[in-house]
Every structure is written in C-alpha cells, then in structure tokens.
Amino acid sequence: MRCPYCGSLATQVKDSRPTEDSAAIRRRRVCPDCGGRFTTFERVQLRELTVLKKTGRRVPFDRDKLVRSVQVALRKRPVEEERIERLVSGIVRRLESQGESEISSDTIGKLVMEGLRSLDDVAYVRFASVYRNFREAKDFEEFVDALSGHGGDMEDDSAV
C-alpha cells in the first residue's frame, strides 16, 4: 500500500481488525520512510463482476461508482454514512453471491431502488427519476402518487 504522505511502497501494517459490519478489514499502517501513520479499509471480493450496460457494452463493476450514485440520491438528506455504507455493502454482497459474474445494469438499479426505498423516500424518488428516465413533471407526479399509495404498483414500469 502506497504511503499517502511520501508515496513510499514500503508501508507496514501495525494493526488489523474487522469493521463493525465485518464488510471490510481496517488496517493501521505506518511508513518507515517518513513516519506517517494512516488507515486503510480492505474489502474481500468474492468474484470479479462485469456490468452489462443497456447498450450491450460490458464494463468492470465499480463499487465507488455505486457509492457515488447512492450519495447523489441522498445528498442533503439526514442519513448517516454508516447506513449508506451498509446499503452499498449489502448490494455488493447480493451481486457477488448471485453466482453470475456478469450483471445487468438493470439488476443493479433495481437493488439500489429497493435499498433506497427503505432508507429515504426523497432519495428513492431522486434515483428513480434518473433510473426510470423521467421526462416530464407528470412522470414525477405518477411516481409519487404510487409511492404514497394513490396509484398503481411501484415496481410496474408501465405505471410510469
């Protein structure tokens, strides 16, 4: 692991322990060259995942991109970072444990929608507006009506 202070690759691990949710390993490191101390979080990866985009293109799964998407939906919402991390870790675990190394972007979007729905209604609507490609205000109205119980089934794409 490269030292963030001097760039040396000769860092040493001084302490390792699992995080509270056991989704990562927290390591305290020290650089023998500059004396800098820092923490890294390492995750166990069950398999390499590839995302199949709607265009047919295949790209490597990027956990950081998933985190950013969820954070954008949750921007300025009262949701703790720990809950966001737990949501993302849960999605990644589900994807890795499906047994397939190739996952459609649609599958990922549905898992994010499912997670956000239980986490925060505003973030759920924000994410849905991009995921379902809302084009007009009435798309939002129909979606929010369905969310509040005045419309059809939320999972039915024909309702939106």
Distance (Å, whole) CA 129 – CA 112? 13
Q: Looking at the predicted structure, is the pLDDT value of residue 51 above 80?
A: yes
Mean pLDDT of 49-78: 91
The values of phi and psi at residue 51, to 5°, are: -100, 130
**Dihedral (C-alpha) 32, 42, 123, 138: value to the nearest 10 degrees?**
110
Instruction: Yes or no: say if 151 and 142 are a contact pair by the CB < 8 Å rule.
Output: yes
Stated length of the chain: 160
State the pLDDT at residue 91: 92
pLDDT band at 46 (very low <50, low <70, confident <90, very high): low
State the pLDDT at residue 157: 43
pLDDT band at 108 (very low <50, low <70, confident <90, very high): very high
Query: For residue 143, is it left (φ>0), alpha (ψ between -120 and 50) or beta?
Result: alpha
Tokens standing for residue 87: 């949501």
- In this structure, of 5-9, 35-39, 146-150, the range with the lowest mean pLDDT score is 146-150
State the pLDDT at residue 47: 66
